[in-house]
Copies of this chain bind each other. A is one copy, B any other.
Amino acid sequence: MAAETLKIQQVAEKTGLSIYTLRYYELEGLVAPVPREKNGHRAYSEDDIYSIIFVTKLRAAGMPIADIRRYVELARQGESTAGERLQILEEHKCAVEQQLAELTQHLEVITFKIDYYRNLNGKGHDGC
């Protein structure tokens, strides 16, 4: 059971990213350079996929590409940068938590409006 590798198409399916985006993320340094087969095709490892999925989490949480690149660069420099990486993640965690709090608050405003409309015409379904 040697290291199995995946084609870009399969990685696209696994991660939900487009092939374009996968190449773009590599170009932008959000993903470490992916090893190539002899024919030049990308050969992704399971580890690569794991880190791509982590990148999608950071993106979904609103982290800009530049910040993720910084994080990935540090990761490639080895253990000595763990402290700085910790700091980036902690800062981002704060940002996400704040965003969460704001979203919750906005949700309340929206819910309030919904209740208003519902009282107007008596209908509505409640829940998603």
Contacts and interface: CB of A to CB of B under 8 A. Distances in A.
A128 B97 contact: yes
Contact of A89 (B58, B60, B98, B114): B114
B86 A117 contact: yes
- What number of copies of this chain does the assembly contain? 2
B103 A96 contact: yes
B106 A57 contact: yes
A125 B110 CA distance: 35
A79 interface: yes
A117 B97 CA distance: 19
Interface residues of A, number: 38
B100 A107 contact: yes
A86 B118 contact: yes
A96 B106 CA distance: 9
Given A82-B120, A124-B86, A128-B94, A104 B100 contact: yes
A99 B90 CA distance: 20
Interface of A: 54, 57-58, 60-61, 79, 82-83, 85-86, 89-90, 92-94, 96-100, 102-104, 106-107, 109-111, 113-114, 117-118, 120-121, 123-125, 128
